[in-house]
Each structure stands twice: as C-alpha cells, then as structure tokens.
Amino acid sequence: MNTTPSSLPLAGYRVLDLTIARAGPTAVRLLADWGADVTRLEAPPPKDRGSVTGRRRGSDEQNLHRNKRSLCVDLKTREGAEILDRLIARSDVVVENFRSVVKERLGLTYEQLRQRNPRIILASISGFGQDGPYAGRPGVDQIVQGMSGLSSVTGEPGRGPVRAGIAISDTTAGMFLGQGILLALLHRERTGEGQWVHTSLIEGMLNKLDFQAARYTVNGEVPGQEGNAHPTQVPMGTFEASDGQVNICASTQTMWAGFCRALEATHLADNADYREFAGRVQHRRRLDAEINAVTRQFSVAELVKRLNPAGVPCGPVYDIGQAFEDPQVQHLRMTRPAQHPVLGDVQLIRSPINLSACPHPERFHHAAPDPGEQTDALLAELGYTPEAIAALREAGAAA
C-alpha cells in the first residue's frame, strides 16, 4: 500500500504550533507524522532568540519539526495579530507552552479562543502545571528529573543522583499531550465541543515512575538506587560476558530453571538459598556475583544464543550506533528519509506506532523547514494577495 499524507488518520485536521523547546514540538510531531496539516508559527529570524534545540538544519531540529510548515510573523505588530486571528479561525488544534500572562496578552487562553472558534482545542504544556505555587516557574527536563524523584532511583547505590541520558520528562510530557489531543478530537467528533487539554513535565514524569511511584503511594516505601539491577525482580540486570556485557532476566521460577540449564549452572540450581524467589531476593548480592562467575565463561553472542531459546530474555548492551545496525532494528526500518533542499536526504526516526490500515509512508512528506520557508504560501492560503504579502514583509510583520 502506497500511503500518502492525505490517506493518513489525521489528514484534514489543521494544527497551529506555537511551541518552543522540546516537549511541545514532540506532541505536534505525533500529529504531523500521522497526516495533520501543521503550521509552525515562529518569530522572524532577526528577532528570534534562537532555539534550545540547535540550528534548524541540525539533526535535532530536523527530527523534531519534519512534516511541518513554517510561517514567520511578528505577533507584537497589529498585522501579526490579525494573521494569528486568521490562523486560529481555521485551526482545529492550537498547541502552546507560553506562561499564563503571555497567553492572556496574546489572546490565547481557552476562553478567548473559544469565542473566536467554538470547536477549537487548546493544548498546553508547561513545566509544573497551569496553576499552583510553581505554575510560574520555568521548567526544563533536568530540573524535573530531579524534582520528580527520577534522578534518585537512577545510578549506582551511594553515588548520588544521575540524570537519564535522554530528555525523558520533555518527551514523556509531549507524548502524553499528543494523546490528550487525540482524546479531545474524539470527544469533539461526538459532541462538537472543543476543550482545553493540558499537561506538564512534572505530571508526565510522576506518571512515568509507574511501579516505583506505586511502591511509595501504596506501601509507603521510598525506592532507592539499584544501578543496573532491577529494583524488585531477581535476578535481572547487567552481567559480564567474556567480551562485553549483557542484560539478563531470569526472575521467574521457569526462567531461573531455564537459565541454570542453558548455562549448565547446576551448582546454582541446587543451592537451597536460590531455590525460591524469596531466597534469591534475600541473597541477591551474592547471587549476582555467582551469576557473573558463570556468564564470564561465555561471549555475548553465546549467551544470547543459549538463553533466549531457553525462554530467558537476554540481550547485548549496545551503543546507539550498534542499536540502529542491529538486524531486528534494520528489519523494522525505524528510519525514513526526508528530502531537504540543502541537506539532501536526511534519515529521521519514524513514529513507533504501527497501523495495519495506514502503513508508514516510505518518505516523510517534507523535511523540517527553515524559519519562514512557507510564509508566502501560508499567507496566500489565509487570503492575503501578493501585494498584501509584500506589504507585510516590508512592514516587518512577516518574514
């Protein structure tokens, strides 16, 4: 099936992207990848203070802003405010991450928007929520990793907090906001009503803590650092091979028996201390050391080959390059090309969602645009004549 943007699930929906940084663009990227017509409204380049994600032609922004179109407008001008009004009137979704005072000044609160477009969905993302004692604080990923407790359970015991190696709270909040937008669109299909959807980095990260959070909320237990060992399942963690490291999960009775058989570790299978799960938990440190003594006798490839057929999950510890070159990842084709007029074909990371009725397009519709790359075309769609567009550019209201 040759999937085109017009055949994707969100084709026909118009999204106005007013976001900066990473969390908001992550939400919008979900919509753009599945066919939404996304207009990214940006400040004219001379007044743009830059982007924390780097230059637009860099790898990060190419990956964040593919399948979007860019319109540069100075919202502080009267003409810029009129352009924003026209965009809002035709949009299904407006996505933003402004502070509340800026939202109100620009006329972008939900109450202000619904007066102009009753079906509008406003999607907002912030560091700490739309109200409350921290609502006015700036929120970035590393701050939230610390404040959510994530850093306290990451890293080796006793060596202090460690940040996750990716912008986990940004991308988590962005994914949740994208889901919220889809829920609001479904609600609108039934009721005809728009609504305000919002989330924050702190809400997304607290939810992402999942079973670690429930250990506290249900049992009053404050989890700590366990390094590469699983916090509650034993044995599960990173173990040594003769030529590297592997991750192994042998936490159930069946898996533990399969592990001992596959590696001919009868001394572990016969040890009364390790016979039941409770004993393996109680003697965890000693058990891990004994497992390492066994696994060091095999290469990474040998461990993977022996353990997986025995029903014991086992995998190598890759760097990112090795991960993308792995045969299974190559089979899944986790990248797709996007044609850039200057960079040529750039390989970007596709959505991880797979739909049988809408296979991933063979190519992204277009690469991330330079700021203002589609200004003239988008203004024409809004009803501006070539002469009016030239006047807007001359006045500095558009670029």
Q: Cis omega before residue 235 (within 30°)? A: yes
Cα→Cα distances 397→49, 168, 308, Å = 17, 36, 61
* Cα distance between residue 208 and residue 20, in whole Å: 23
- Angle subtended at Cα 127 by Cα 125 and Cα 131, rounded to the nearest 5 degrees: 80
* Cα distance between residue 290 and residue 304, in whole Å: 19
Helix (H) or strand (E) holding 81: helix 78-90
Contacts of 97 (CB under 8 A, 6+ apart): 18, 19, 20, 21, 23, 24, 124, 125, 126
Task: Count CB-CB contacts under 10 A for residue 393.
Answer: 17
DSSP state at residue 130: S
DSSP state at residue 5: G
Q: Would you put residue 85 in left (φ > 0), alpha (ψ -120 to 50) or beta?
A: alpha
Instruction: For residue 33, indicate whether it is catalytic.
Output: no
Selecting among 33, 37, 74, 170, the annotated active-site residue is: 170
Catalytic residue annotation: 170
